[in-house]
Amino acid sequence: MALNFHYILALVSLIISFSSFGISQSDEDLSKGASFIFGDSLVDAGNNNYLPTLSKANISPNGIDFKASGGTPTGRYTNGRTIGDIVGEELGQTHYALPFLAPNTTGRAVLYGVNYASGGGGIMNATGRIFVNRLSMDIQVDYFNITRKQIDKLLGASKAKEYIEKRSIFSITIGSNDFLNNYLLPVISVGARITESPDGFVDDLLNHLRGQLTRLYQLDARKFIVGNVGPIGCIPYQKTINQLNEDECVSLPNKLALQYNARLKDLLQEMNENFKGATFVHANVYDLVMELITNYAKYGFKSSSRACCGNGGQFAGIIPCGPSSSVCSDRDKHVFWDPYHPSQAANLIIAKQLVNGDPKYISPMNLRELRDL
């Protein structure tokens, strides 16, 4: 009996010691922290599956190389893992951040991270309305507010605050659609473009983004990584509709992206100086992707202009990837999976640079250093 009593006492003290860190015996891997992912189709893990929208990726052959699903589509806009998935793995997280709208994103599952990203979403609420439905950044932050309250209930207010501030990384990959599916979109945006200069539109974007990042900070987010806009004039869709050569890009979208990117860098520097206890890491996605596009052979690719999955025109860049698309056999040899999105092979190179890379691509520190702060 005495032995049983001591065994029970030891067990109780073990449970208490786990719960003092806000984790149970079955959740020891919470020590690896959580990823809370915001953005667009570059990092959407399936939220759009649950929306009545024209922007969906839960159709074959999307996800053909996604091992966790056995190659069935999950709503990721690529052939395998997104940048967000790979970053989580590289940082030792054992669970992918689940889509907020998925029915199984409940209970303790939210402690491993949640993905709020939505194909077609943007900083501005009007962005992506061509798709009918999508989650704008404002709505994504609203949804995190719901998760934040759930974490309070799961861990208690004090442990929840500590877990969010010290063990959680907030990843924001957004802005491309604000140009491609808003400012630059024919017909829909012509009124806006007449009344608003590029400078004025970029001003609007950054003011909205500042407000969104501030709201996350007020909800105890402290470790941020914010990606700039990539070379959107170089995607297969743009090259195809503008009938460019393989080594050419459309100048206006890239010019607008660079204009926004310069101002974004300034904004993040300003926020680093003024938001006590927070670190805003700047991810130079533009130069990183441009490096892959320009020097693709160096990284083992055979094409950086043609979509692996798509149809139409010289670069298979007009019709989005779907069951009737032509699909390349050497998927890991293409920088682009479809007319808009990088392949898993490209995502892998990008993600590893963000986790371990140097200040040319990620500053003032990389994601491994950010995690260990």
Residues marked active site are found at: 41, 338, 341
CA distance 204 to 267: 13
Give CA 33 to chain center in angstroms: 17
Edge-first strand listing for the sheet containing 168-173: 98-99, 113-115, 34-39, 168-173, 223-227, 279-283, 362-363
Asked if 113 contacts 88 with a C-beta cutoff of 8 angstroms, the reply is yes
Provide, for the chain, the percentages of residues in helix, strand and coil under a 3-state DSSP scheme, each rounded to the nearest 5: 50, 10, 40
Beta strand spans in 25-167 (E): 34-39, 98-99, 113-115
322: buried, middle or exposed (CB in 10 Å: 19+, 13-18, 0-12)?
Answer: middle
Give the residue among 202, 203, 148 at the shortest CA–CA distance from 170: 148
**The residue type at 317:** G
Q: What is the DSSP string of 6-37?
A: HHHHHHHHHHHHHHTTT--GGGGGGGG-EEEE
